[in-house]
Structure 1
Amino acid sequence: MRHKVYTREHILKAAYEVIAKDGFTNFTARNVAKKMGVSTQPIYLEFENMQDLKNNLIEMVYKELEKKVFSVEHTGDKLVDMAINYIDFSQNNPRLFMALFVDEHGGGKLMYEFCFNYFRETIQQYPEYANFSDDYLKALHKGVWIAITGVAALMSSGIVEPTRQQIVGVINQTIESILRTETFENVKSQ
Structure 2
Amino acid sequence: MRRKVYTKDQILKAAYEVVENEGFSGFTARNIAKKMGISTQPIYLEFKNMQDLKDTLLDEICNHLYYDIFPEVRTGDTIIDLGLNYVYFAKERSNLYNALYVQEYGGGQKMHDFSYKYFYELIKKHPKYKNLDDEHINALHVGTWITVTGIATLMSSGIIEPTEEDIVHLINRAIDSILSTEDTAVLDKL
Same fold (TM over 0.5): yes
> Which secondary structure does the structure 2 equivalent of 1:110 belong to?
helix
Q: What are the superposed Cα offsets for residues 132-174 of structure 1, whole Å, 9 maximum, x if unpaired?
A: 2233222211111111101111111111111111111101000
Contact 2:136 2:179 in 1 (8 A): no
For structure 2, list consecutive stretches of 5 or more residues without a partner in the other structure.
186-190
Q: TM-score, normalised by structure 2?
A: 0.92
Residue correspondence of structure 1 range 158-173 to structure 2 within 5 A: 158-173=158-173
How far apart, in 2, do the equivalents of 1:182 and 1:134 lie? 14
Offset at 1:29? 0.5
Q: Per-residue displacement from partner, 1:81-136 (whole Å, max 9, x unpaired)? A: 00000000011101111001101111122111111111111221123222222332
1:147 aligns with 2:171: no
Identical-pair percentage: 52
Structure 1 residues 1-80: aligned runs within 5 Å: 1-80=1-80
CA drift at 1:23: 0.8
Deviations 1:49-79 (A, max 9, x none): 2112111111101111111110111111110
Match of 1:104 in 2: 104
For the residue of structure 2 that corresponds to 1:179, the secondary structure is: helix
Judged with a 3 Å threshold, the aligned counterparts in structure 2 of structure 1 residues 135 and 55 are, in CA distance, closer, same or farther, namely farther
Q: Higher mean Cα deviation, 111-120 or 127-136? A: 127-136
Paired position in structure 2 for 1:92: 92
Aligned CA RMSD, in angstroms, stands at: 1.4
Q: CA deviation at 1:184?
A: 4.0
The size of the alignment, in residue pairs, is 185
Q: Runs of 5+ in structure 1 lacking a partner?
A: 186-190
